[in-house]
Structures are given as structure tokens and as C-alpha cells.
Amino acid sequence: MTAEQLDLALLCDDQGNSVRITVLGPLQGVAGGLSGEIVVDTPFVAGRVARSLWRSRLTSWAEALDRLEAGEEIAWLHVQRGPSVYIHLNGERDCPEVVVEDDLVSMTTVRVPIDLPSDWTATHRDLLAAVLDAWDWHLSPE
């Protein structure tokens, strides 16, 4: 990653399963937005999809982390155009699972079981804080 690229989320386990949401830098041609990508990497399947990020989406990620800490499952970005991320705390394999759904472009859904450590939401709050520290000046105030 370059100096402007930062992970917003890194959900991974020691089985080789991961879902990463990375901020790549300023969104080209659009003031106040960030370019990002969602990357799925498992021993079975790998893929990536672009995702624009705005202050409101980062705020909704913080709210999603609150709900996850309270034991609720989340759907992040599911009502906006583009890929969505769902986190189910008790998936089909008796561990959390992350579902990435791209109905708009690839029409693909990937379900990834990830055995997350107990402190993963705190780690993700730190990642979010680092993104905001680095990019707050660029984000529109919305």
C-alpha cells in the first residue's frame, strides 16, 4: 500500500480467509470523496470491486461497529448503489461470516466464514480513526 492507502476493514483469520476494505486515495473527478475497494481473498475464491467512500459512509461504518458490539448483525451500504457488506455474527459454519454482494455490476455474492478474534471491533475502530485522521481534510462535510 502507498502512504495514502489505508485499510478501513481487515477481516481475516488463520485459515486464509479475508475481506479487506481499503481506501485508495481521492476519488478522481469528484470533490470530497475517496476511492476504495473491497477485496475478498480465500483459498477458494478471490476478487475485488471498487467502492466510493464519503463521510456519511464512514459514519455509518462507525454505527455498524456499535451494532456489532451490541451483538447485532449488520448490513453496510446495502441501500446505496454499489457493493454491500453484511456481517453475520453466527454464520453457517458456527463462526462469523462476511457477505459481499455486488448486485449492480458483477451480480455476484460471496459468503466468507471468518473466525474473528474477540477484539476485532476495537481494532476496526482504530482503523477507522486512522482513515479519518489521514483523510478528514479531504472529505466533504456531509
Q: What is the pLDDT of residues 68-113, one digit of tens each?
A: 999 999 999 887 678 999 999 998 888 999 999 998 888 999 999 9
| C-alpha 134, offset from chain centre | 17
Contact 88, 112 (CB under 8 A): no
Q: Which domains does the chain have, with CATH numbers?
A: 6-135 (3.30.2450)
Would you say 95 and 114 are in contact if contact means Cβ atoms under 8 Å apart? yes
pTM for this model (two decimals): 0.92
Which has the minimum average pLDDT: 41-45, 64-68, 104-108, 117-121? 104-108
Q: Phi/psi at 67 (nearest 5 deg)? A: -65, -40
Q: How far apart are CA 112 and CA 116, in angstroms?
A: 12
Answer whether 53's CB lies under 8 Å from 32's CB. no
